[in-house]
Amino acid sequence: MLQNMKKVIYIPIESRVRELDAKSLLASTALRFGWDVIIGREDVLNEHIVNLPRGIYIAKNVNKDKVSLIESIRKTGHAIAMCDEEAGLAQNDQDTFLRQRFDTRNLEHLDVVFLWSDEQKRVFDVIFTDYDVLTKSLGTPRLDLMTKHHNALVDEGADYYRTRYGEKYILISSNFTVNSIYGKSKFISKLNSIARDPQERASFERWFAYKEDTFSKYIESISELAGRIEDVKIVIRPHPGEDNSAWGELSSCHNVYIDSSFSLVSAIKSS
């Protein structure tokens, strides 16, 4: 597939705040090895990828709702590499996570899958043993950003947080995508679209209800904490897919701030 192909890599970005720093690191590394790189908004890049010179497309997920896209990219002669943005680090069951993220109809179109760890690669190879797809355990640029060699890529964000909130503050990073920027009904519809069967759809519904309840408890806990340490600033960094206004109940807490201006790595580095 790579023979007679222009040395160009296509890197789609769904969320600028979450992905731009890490994918800029990936792009700069590719440039040093002589590759041309086109990096841009996922929806725009996906719309035009079939008309662009053949190269390597870096997919961020290949679940059920990506079947048509992956097939069309492959038909136009591009190679496809997969590097998942999520990795399932917060899930105990890698088997379930990988089955949700990789629709088997897409596997035949993938040239290589990059996994975050040796254990994830082992589970993947067991689950999809019948599919001839190359797998590599290489980590992820998102974690590479946390090494001292790449500090410059996150320094701007870290300096922003320090300037605004000082040298010492409490950082709370959230992942309550039940407060989706697209609204509750659309988010639930998206979950249902990737469910593989009625049992998994029911599981998603239970998960959603659990997350809603947990978020309510978070609000209560943070409000109580803020009252106990009024001289300490608390910065909540919502997930990029969250609607920040959902945290409005904390507006009465003078030492609580909602801020997702830069990447999580930048926020962690400065807190």
**Average pLDDT in the chain:** 88
Quick check: 25 and 19 in contact, CB under 8 A? no
pLDDT of residue 90: 54
pLDDT of residue 4: 55
Per-residue pLDDT tens digits for 126-180 = 999 988 889 999 988 888 888 877 777 788 888 999 999 998 899 999 988 788 8
DSSP string, 15-79: -HHHHHHHHHHHHHHHHHTT-EEEEEEHHHHHHHGGGSPS-EEEES-B-GGGHHHHHHHHHTT-E
Per-residue pLDDT tens digits for 223-262 = 999 999 999 999 999 988 888 889 999 999 999 999 999 8
Predicted confidence (pLDDT) at residue 186 exceeds the cutoff of 60: yes
Query: How far is residue 249's CA from residue 213's CA, in Å, rounded to a whole number?
Result: 15
Percent of the chain with pLDDT over 90: 51
Per-residue pLDDT tens digits for 106-120 = 999 999 999 998 988
Centre a 10 Å sphere on the Cβ of residue 178 and count the other Cβ atoms it contains. Answer: 22
| Mean of pLDDT values over 195-200 | 78
Element (H, E) at 123: helix 118-127
Sheet strands side by side (includes 234-237)? 170-173, 234-237, 256-258
pLDDT of residue 11: 97
Quick check: 54 and 1 in contact, CB under 8 A? no
Higher pLDDT, 97 or 253: 253
Per-residue pLDDT tens digits for 150-160 = 777 788 888 99
Say which residues have a Cβ less than 8 Å from residue 162's Cβ, sequence separation at least 6. 270
pTM, to two decimals: 0.82
pLDDT of residue 147: 82
pLDDT of residue 163: 93
Say which residues have a Cβ less than 8 Å from residue 113's Cβ, sequence separation at least 6. 81, 82, 83, 102, 124, 133, 134, 135, 136
pLDDT band at 5 (very low <50, low <70, confident <90, very high): low
Per-residue pLDDT tens digits for 26-58 = 999 999 999 999 999 999 999 999 999 999 999
Handedness of CA 70, 74, 76, 81 (dihedral sign): positive
Quick check: 174 and 239 in contact, CB under 8 A? yes
Q: Which residue has the tokens 């990737």?
A: 194
pLDDT of residue 3: 54
